[in-house]
Structures are given as structure tokens and as C-alpha cells.
A and B are shown apart, each in its own frame.
Chain A
């Protein structure tokens, strides 16, 4: 239950430090917390947590996007959201890719298994459930998952079964630009699409609060069109800014994590289930 508060407080900090109009943002965030603090002292009247983690790029050189999504997956699972409440969408297979020198492992920091000090954490591990993978990660499937308009044969593990007391953490990463995000080099989702999907979710009472986090180039433009209440959004870069990767791994030969996500994960490492 303390997870969204920790994440929300992180985003409060991020917002406060990034934006020029930080005072105005701070006031907005404060009103966000206080207005929802009717039912419980933690500040929000939710009863269950869900997470939707989407990595939209395929191919081996986009390993860092899959590491981003998997880093968030590990954090969210460690802090208490079970696999049945997490929808993980990975566009490509990085861990069992034939180019991967460390089979079955995805690392978020350089050094990998070569350094026996095991400071790099294997994000794939032994226990993972990927709900949408490969060609199934499309704009249509993403919007259907959010709005709940799915065919009757879709299995339960692929559905977002939220209600009006659910707090949802939605994390997207990939290549993007001014008000769009590219899905697998093939199609794009625009900021208007996501804003409309959230409005449908609000109308159908499918969320209590949403935390929207996005790590792409010009990420903040993606949430500029939201018009539904109770959404807190944060991104890695402003309009006309690019987001950069953090470090390269010489054994794997590609970048392993993006800067924004790296610092978010570093902050989250200090949070556990009992943090305030």
C-alpha cells in the first residue's frame, strides 16, 4: 500500500526539481495528495495496486528498453504487487536472444556476470511472467488492455482487471518524439490516444489514481494532453530534449539502461515495503 506513495513522492521530487515553475508544480502535487486523503492516512483511498509495464522497441540494440521495463518489473514485484496484478509487455526477447552472452539474464548495469562481485542484478531471474511478448505488443492490444475492451477468449493473465479503487502504475519506454511513441518500428501511439484511453477508464471507473511514467525522447509531450482527473505523470525529457542511455556494457556490446530509469531504480533501491 505504501508503494504508490513512495513512487508518488519520488515523482513529486522529480517534478519539483525539473520544472522551471517548480512552485506551481509543488502546489499542484500537494493538492493532489491532500484532496484524496479522505479515507486513509496514507493519502489515497485505494484498495489494490496494478502495474502495466510496456517496452515498445524490438531488436537487440534496444536491449536498454527491455532492461528499463524489467527493472521496473523487479522493483514493483519486490515492493509487493504480485504477478497476477502486473501486465508486462516486452516486444522482443533479450534474455534468450542468441546474441546474448549471458543466457537467461538481463542486466541493468555494466559488468554482468564477469565481475564476480555480483553488483549487477540479473533482472530476469528464475521467476518471471511476460504477458504480452513479441508481435503481441501492438497499439491495439495496449489500448484494449487499458480500456478493458478485449475479446472473450483472452486469458485472465492478460487482462487489466481493475476497479475504481485501483491505483495503476503505467510505465512506457521506447523511441518517441513530439506527442508520439513508436511501437516496434511499425506503428505509433499518440498522446491523444493515451489521453482518450484514460478518459474511457475514468468513465468506466477503472482506476482510482494513475501514475504515468515514460522514458523516451521528448517524453513530457506524451502526457501534455491528459484531461482526466487523478493522474500524476512524469517523463524523462521535455519538448525538444532527447533522453540518453546511461552506460554501455563491453561484453554485451550495447547500452544496458537509460539515464532516467537508472536514477529512478537507484532511488527505489532504498525503498522497501515498510518505507513511508
Chain B
């Protein structure tokens, strides 16, 4: 009787707790690993950890002045969730990459944000309580603290709003009919990525890098790869909820590790680890191994399910410890393919260089090659810091040696303000079929103030990558495109992803940093000598003192006294 009464009270209390403490939401966690051998013997591994917070809506920025409703997470990362609610962020993309992504040899990455260094962009709703810029500053610093990166220095001198290139990947909640979202984007191309960035990344996962696919993330091997990058993507999907996707991509070189120069790889040879147990809270845990074009490659262990292009391993019903390996059994040593013999992996190729070595002369040159047999348009974005200013009137476009200024149409240009604001240049280029476009523009390199030079000033400044988005629509000549790219079927949406150029290094004139010390020493010396001489000239007088001959000589000093 007594126990029953307590049970009833307990149940009522439980119900009240559920009603009063805010929503308790359903969460879903999926993890995938895509392994794709590349034509030049390298291996692309793309880890993706997705947590979906069902029926959640990003915070309405108008409520920023008041207390937020309580959030309860079990799988969703708490540290990241708190940052998102604190600054009312609807969509967030952050990436930290190192290396140069070679589109010509490796094709498109799984995650399009491969610009070198740190890149952060976010969509935030307008608010009368706290401005978007104030929240952007808070967001940068909060993420800098969370990921041990110097994102706090992505200040106004690096922030722009390139909404034509960086379109939202999710949907926007309509809190009121007049709510409007703004984009803030900033890059820091000179940022390093190391274990201190991977440590908090792993701590955001439900299984924390101890089990499941995340246990393969070994920093000693990942940071030895030819290209690596980690990224965080948060977006709101209407009818689903808030989704957080944590990605890690790396391009490793098995030929370098192999004794005989073979491109055979396995999880233990690439990551130095195998998967010992699966993550219990994951709804799905899949490893997909893409088959290379040579059908002679053998995947072991035998995959439980396979399709034409992929071998799929589901960790929930695969024996552990799992060590997947791929071997080319009829190859004794890997021979690198010639660049000319392979079909292009992306619709366009871009090369960007900075010419002109002296301070007063500079030219930015961009060469874009269209691999497709049809005319396509591509958008071209430059977010250049004010250290390199464009002379826009000198923009020249050449195709086959003929000047074709009609192929460039400038959509928007926000001129830079020195020491305050970067350049935002957005244009649409029309590329003739199988043609190469040469763009060149004169640039100006300013003199920096003495205090603006970084500690290693002689190195120069890294310039952020330019971003191209091929605007390929669903045209009737999809067969021509497919045959050119040597694929069975063309996915136009996948072809229209962002392409980043490598970063540039610009050398600005550095002053002689020892000059202030030299000036002080020299002026002090001069002042001392001049003042001393003038003072002596003005006030010192030499006089002769007569010594009396009849007085006692013994007591007198033989040296005549000088009166001053």
C-alpha cells in the first residue's frame, strides 16, 4: 500500500518534470566513413558524424534579451549547442584545412569546404535585441575557445557577406513574417591545424573517439597526410530538426608507406588502428569503400553487401576487430598515370597567381579552363583583404589571344577600406566550350603601419582562396558532358559545387624594425654631444691663476688652479 502510494507520487513527479523542464527531444546519430582510392595512388577517407535533433528549431534572435528555454541533449554536443543558442545561429559552417586540394588529380571532395586555413560562415537572423555583428564577434570567439583555433582574429578586416556563392544549405525558420537572415563569412588562410583542434572535435561526438568509426582518427597519421581538414556544419531542416554534421577528410598516400611502392592499403596501414567495437548509440554505422576503375582490386574481408561501385560494411553486423584492406593483386609496383591520359574529374580547372615582385607593381592572373564541350557559366568570388587592392578598370579577359571583355560580367563589387574592410568582388564568367580564359588585373600593395606587421613580417601575408561555382543547369546535352567526364550518369547538382583555388602569398614592404632603437640612440648621442658642447662653450671660461712667488712654496700645489 505504502509502496504503491510512493510509486504514484513518483510517476506524477516524473510527468511534472517532463512538462515543466522544457522539451525532451529525440536524437539520432549516424556515422559513415567513405574510402575512395584516387587515380594517383592516394586514398581519400571522409569521416562524417551526423547528429539530428528532431523537431528542434533554432533560437529566435528576438528572444536574445530574455532567458532561453532549457535544452536537454543526450547525443547532441552540449558545448556546440550552447554556443548556437547563445548567439541564435541558424546555419553554421566552419572548416580547418591544411594542404592544397588538387582538383585535377583528386576530383571533388566529399565536403566542398576545402579552402586552406580556417573558414567560418554563418547565417543569423536579424534582431533588435543584439545586432548580427555583435553576435558574429561572440560566435567567432566562442568557437575559437571551443576548437583551440585563432578564430578570434577573424574580425571586420576579414569579414564579408558573399551571399551569391555561399548559399544556405538548410532552410530558415520563419519566426515572424518579417524575419530576415544575414550571412557573415571570414577566412584565415594562415591557420595551422594540429592535434589541439582534433581533441575538442572528438569530444563533441557521443562516443568520443573511443569506439566506432571515430576510433580510427589517429592524429599521428592524419596530420601526416597530403591534405587533411576537419569541418563542422550546423543547419536547420524544416520538418526534421537541427542537424550537426562533423566531418573529417584526409588524403593519405599508401605508396609512401609501402616498402615495395605498392598502393595496397588497409585501415591499419593508413590509420595505424582498427575498429574494435562499434558505437552503441549510433543508429547506423557504415563504411563504404568505393571500387576503383580497375576491377582487379580485392576488398577483404568480404563485404556483407555490395553494389556495382561500392563495398558496404555495416558495423552493427560485422565482426570486430575490423580491418578493411584493398589489394591490387596483379600489380607489383604502382605506376603513376600520366596527366594527359586521364579524363577530367571536374568541369573546370582554375589557376590563380600573383605576378610582379616589387611593391609598386602587381598583377593578379586567373586562368580558367573549361573541360566540357558546352558553354557554361561560373561565378567567381574574391574576398581579398585590404592589403591587396584591385584596379578594377585594368581587368582584361583573353580567350585564344583575343580580348573578350564580354565574357566577364561583374555582379557586385564592394571596394576595400584600408585598415577596416576587405574587398568583395563577385562576377559571372562565361566559359566557351573547351576554352581557356585568361583574366588579369593590376593590383596595388599598400604600405602597412608599423604596428600592423605580424611578428614574422618577412614571410608575407597569406591571401584567401578565390571560390568558383560552376553554374551548370540541366541542359539537353547531358550525354556530351557525361562522355567527357567519363561517367555513366551526370549529377548536375554534384557538378555545381564550390571550387577553391590555392592561397597566395603576398610580400609587402617591411620597414627596418631596428630603426626606432637606432633613432633613439643616435638622437640621444647627438643631443648629448651638442648640448654638452654648447653648454661648455657658453658657460665655461678658462682663467689663469697667478701663483704668488714670495709665499711658502711647500704648501702650495705646483699645478695652477683652474677656476670655473
Chain A residues within CB distance 8 Å of chain B = 58-59, 91, 93, 95-96, 102-105, 124-131, 133-136, 153-158, 183-186
B145 interface contact, C-beta 8 A: yes
**Cβ of B194 and Cβ of A104 under 8 Å apart?**
yes
| Docked complex: B116-149 residues within 8 A CB-CB of A | 137-138, 141-142, 144-146, 148
Q: Which residues of B contact A58 (CB under 8 A)?
A: 455-456
Query: Closest approach, in angstroms, between the C-beta of A111 and any C-beta of chain B?
Result: 17
Query: Closest approach, in angstroms, between the C-beta of B449 and any C-beta of chain A?
Result: 14
6 closest A-B pairs by CB:
A155-B145, A96-B194, A186-B455, A184-B455, A103-B224, A104-B220
Q: Which residues of B contact A128 (CB under 8 A)?
A: 195-196, 199
Q: List 7 A-B contacts (CB under 8 A).
A: A59-B456, A96-B193, A126-B195, A129-B196, A136-B152, A154-B145, A157-B146
Q: Which residues of A contact B138 (CB under 8 A)?
A: 153
**Cβ of A133 and Cβ of B219 under 8 Å apart?**
no
Chain B residues within CB distance 8 Å of chain A = 98, 137-138, 141-142, 144-146, 148, 150, 152-153, 191-196, 199-200, 218-220, 222-224, 454-456, 513
**Cβ of B195 and Cβ of A95 under 8 Å apart?**
yes
Among B195, B200, B220, chain A packs the most CB atoms within 10 A around the CB of B195
**Cβ of B137 and Cβ of A134 under 8 Å apart?**
no
Q: Which residues of A contact B141 (CB under 8 A)?
A: 153-155
**Cβ of B454 and Cβ of A104 under 8 Å apart?**
no
Contact of A126 among B153, B191, B199, B456 (CB under 8 A): B199
Asked whether A129 and B153 contact (CB < 8 A) given A103-B223, A155-B146, A158-B145, the answer is no
**Cβ of A125 and Cβ of B195 under 8 Å apart?**
yes
**Cβ of A105 and Cβ of B220 under 8 Å apart?**
yes
Chain A residue, CB-CB nearest to B225: A103
**Cβ of A185 and Cβ of B456 under 8 Å apart?**
yes
Contact of B192 among A93, A103, A124 (CB under 8 A): A93
**Cβ of B195 and Cβ of A96 under 8 Å apart?**
yes
Other than the known A104-B194, A104-B219, what 11 A-B pairs have Cβ atoms closer than 8 Å? A96-B192, A96-B195, A126-B199, A126-B219, A128-B195, A133-B148, A135-B150, A135-B153, A154-B145, A154-B152, A155-B146
Contact of A104 among B142, B152, B200, B223 (CB under 8 A): B223
A258-B446 Cα distance, complex, nearest whole Å: 42
**Cβ of B455 and Cβ of A185 under 8 Å apart?**
yes
Chain B residue, CB-CB nearest to A93: B192
Query: Closest approach, in angstroms, between the C-beta of A187 and any C-beta of chain B?
Result: 8
Asked whether A104 and B224 contact (CB < 8 A) given A128-B195, A153-B137, A157-B145, the answer is yes
Q: Which residues of B contact A135 (CB under 8 A)?
A: 150, 153, 454-455
Contact of A134 among B150, B195, B200 (CB under 8 A): B150
**Cβ of B455 and Cβ of A129 under 8 Å apart?**
no
Q: Which residues of A contact B148 (CB under 8 A)?
A: 129-131, 133, 157
Q: Which residues of B contact A126 (CB under 8 A)?
A: 195, 199, 218-219
**Cβ of B199 and Cβ of A129 under 8 Å apart?**
yes
Query: Closest approach, in angstroms, between the C-beta of B463 and any C-beta of chain A?
Result: 17
Query: Closest approach, in angstroms, between the C-beta of B556 and any C-beta of chain A?
Result: 48
Q: Which residues of A contact B194 (CB under 8 A)?
A: 93, 95-96, 104, 124, 130
Q: Which residues of B contact A127 (CB under 8 A)?
A: 195, 199
**Cβ of B455 and Cβ of A103 under 8 Å apart?**
no
Contact of A136 among B150, B193, B223 (CB under 8 A): B150
A185-B219 Cα distance, complex, nearest whole Å: 30
A129-B195 Cα distance, complex, nearest whole Å: 8
Query: Closest approach, in angstroms, between the C-beta of B225 and any C-beta of chain A?
Result: 9
A126-B513 Cα distance, complex, nearest whole Å: 39
Query: Closest approach, in angstroms, between the C-beta of A110 and any C-beta of chain B?
Result: 19
A128-B202 Cα distance, complex, nearest whole Å: 12
Q: Which residues of A contact B153 (CB under 8 A)?
A: 135-136
Q: Which residues of A contact B98 (CB under 8 A)?
A: 96
Chain B residue, CB-CB nearest to A105: B220
A58-B455 Cα distance, complex, nearest whole Å: 9
Chain A residue, CB-CB nearest to B203: A127
Q: Which residues of B contact A154 (CB under 8 A)?
A: 141, 145, 152
Chain A residue, CB-CB nearest to B196: A130
Query: Closest approach, in angstroms, between the C-beta of B460 and any C-beta of chain A?
Result: 14
A127-B219 Cα distance, complex, nearest whole Å: 10
Q: Which residues of A contact B456 (CB under 8 A)?
A: 58-59, 184-185
A155-B150 Cα distance, complex, nearest whole Å: 12
Q: Which residues of B contact A183 (CB under 8 A)?
A: 455
Q: Which residues of A contact B218 (CB under 8 A)?
A: 126
Contact of A133 among B137, B196, B455 (CB under 8 A): B196
Among B98, B137, B456, chain A packs the most CB atoms within 10 A around the CB of B456
A13-B248 Cα distance, complex, nearest whole Å: 49
Query: Closest approach, in angstroms, between the C-beta of B498 and any C-beta of chain A?
Result: 25
A134-B142 Cα distance, complex, nearest whole Å: 18
A105-B223 Cα distance, complex, nearest whole Å: 10
**Cβ of B144 and Cβ of A103 under 8 Å apart?**
no
**Cβ of A134 and Cβ of B192 under 8 Å apart?**
yes
Q: Which residues of A contact B150 (CB under 8 A)?
A: 133-136
Q: Which residues of B contact A129 (CB under 8 A)?
A: 148, 196, 199-200
Contact of B142 among A124, A125, A155, A184 (CB under 8 A): A155
Among B152, B224, B454, B455, chain A packs the most CB atoms within 10 A around the CB of B455
**Cβ of B455 and Cβ of A155 under 8 Å apart?**
no
A276-B255 Cα distance, complex, nearest whole Å: 52
Contact of A124 among B191, B193, B195, B513 (CB under 8 A): B195
**Cβ of A156 and Cβ of B145 under 8 Å apart?**
yes
A133-B98 Cα distance, complex, nearest whole Å: 16
Q: Which residues of B contact A103 (CB under 8 A)?
A: 220, 223-224
Chain A residue, CB-CB nearest to B142: A155
A59-B456 Cα distance, complex, nearest whole Å: 9
A135-B455 Cα distance, complex, nearest whole Å: 7
A149-B339 Cα distance, complex, nearest whole Å: 57
A96-B142 Cα distance, complex, nearest whole Å: 24
Q: Which residues of A contact B222 (CB under 8 A)?
A: 104
Chain A residue, CB-CB nearest to B191: A134
Q: Which residues of B contact A91 (CB under 8 A)?
A: 455
Query: Closest approach, in angstroms, between the C-beta of B87 and any C-beta of chain A?
Result: 11
Contact of B223 among A96, A134, A153 (CB under 8 A): A96
Among B196, B218, B513, chain A packs the most CB atoms within 10 A around the CB of B196
A95-B193 Cα distance, complex, nearest whole Å: 10
Q: Which residues of B contact A93 (CB under 8 A)?
A: 192, 194
